[in-house]
Amino acid sequence: MSGLIETIQAIVQEELRHLYLAELGVVIELHAHESDNDKNNYACSVRLRDSGLELRFVPIATSRIGLCALPNVGDLVLVQFLGGDPNAPVVTARLYNEQARPPVAKAGEWVYESPDGEEGGVRRAFLKLPNGATLTWDDEAVTLETGATKLVINHDGEVVLESADKVTIKSSGDTVVEAQGALSMKASGDVSLEGMNVNIKAQLSAQVEGQTSATLKGINVAIKGITAFSAG
């Protein structure tokens, strides 16, 4: 009986040696779905760390359909094999290691720090909702688009807001607009300025001009300075 058991154990051990469960691998090539015309489907090529075996076009598991975040070449990944078949690998996770350390973060924090270097070209974080609204974040700018409204915050500090409808700014406290250069406001329609007290002060000169007429009205009107009046 013992001989039979030993034979069975030897057969099982031999079968297990040919059964692939999970191994660590290093990403050696990316196969990104970069356009609607290519046939790539979110995959990479991996070299198994222990055996050196190279696996081509390995599918990458994702936490949610619609989400895409390819690993970088050189990343350490966990490769699992469906049914133990070496011809059915799937990359299921990425792992930090001595060469690729995680960003500094405390327990309970959610931190993402891009591992890409400046020489790697333009990177992009992109979010699109079912209604067509998009948020794009790349090396040059952060761009938010929803309907006919667009907000662009450029890397050089320029901010551009475009809207096809009304723009409203509300503040429960003071509101300050300050420009180191010139400040220009222009409207195709009327311009209204209203407040308890309105002060307009110029460091050098001030000019009020109406193409047709100009009206200055108040219970008390005071004009101070060396004045000169002339009719057009």
pLDDT at position 122 is: 60
176 within a domain of the structure (yes/no): no
In the chain, % of residues over pLDDT 70: 87
Q: Which amino acid is at 110?
A: W
Determine contact, residues 42/105, Cβ cutoff 8 Å: no
**What CATH number does the domain containing 77 carry?**
2.40.50.230
Opening angle at CA 99, ends 118 and 71, nearest 5: 60
Instruction: List the one residue out of 143, 140, 115 whose CA is nearest residue 127.
Output: 143
146 within a domain of the structure (yes/no): yes
pLDDT at position 5 is: 67
Longest dimension (CA), the chain: 126
- Same domain (yes/no): 90, 26: yes
169 within a domain of the structure (yes/no): no
Distance of CA 181 to the CA centre of its chain: 31
- Same domain (yes/no): 28, 91: yes
- Same domain (yes/no): 151, 85: no
Give the domain range for residue 90.
20-95
As given in the structure block, the two tokens for residue 154 are 């450029």
| DSSP per-residue letters across 159-216 | EEEE-SS------SS------SS------SS------SS-----SS------SS----
Q: How far is the C-alpha of 44 from the C-alpha of 56, rounded, in Å? A: 7
- Same domain (yes/no): 27, 80: yes
194 within a domain of the structure (yes/no): no
Tell me the pLDDT band of 156, cut-offs 50, 70 and 90: very high
Burial state string for 176-201 with b = 16 or more CB within 10 A and e = fewer than 16: eeeeeeeeeeeeeeeeeeeeeeeeee
Instruction: List C-alpha distances in Å: 53 to 16, 87, 110.
Output: 18, 12, 35
As given in the structure block, the two tokens for residue 24 are 């660590």
186 within a domain of the structure (yes/no): no
pLDDT in tens, 20-69: 889 999 999 999 999 989 989 999 999 999 999 999 999 999 999 999 98
Q: How far is the C-alpha of 15 from the C-alpha of 21, rounded, in Å? A: 12
158 within a domain of the structure (yes/no): yes
- How many domains would you assign to the chain? 2
The residue-averaged pLDDT of 209-218 equals 80
Chosen domain end from 162, 185, 212: 162
In the chain, % of residues over pLDDT 90: 51
- Same domain (yes/no): 76, 125: no
Determine contact, residues 25/55, Cβ cutoff 8 Å: yes
Judged by average pLDDT, the poorest of 28-32, 91-95, 138-142, 151-155 is 138-142
147 within a domain of the structure (yes/no): yes
The residue-averaged pLDDT of 121-145 equals 89
- pLDDT of 12 over the 60 cut: no
Q: How many CB atoms lie within 10 A of CB 44?
A: 25
- Same domain (yes/no): 125, 68: no
62 within a domain of the structure (yes/no): yes
Chosen domain end from 162, 183, 215: 162
Cβ-based neighbours of 222, under 8 Å, separated by 6 or more: none
- Same domain (yes/no): 33, 90: yes
- Same domain (yes/no): 89, 126: no
Q: How far is the C-alpha of 18 from the C-alpha of 49, rounded, in Å? A: 17
Q: Which residue has the higher pLDDT, 152 or 225?
A: 152
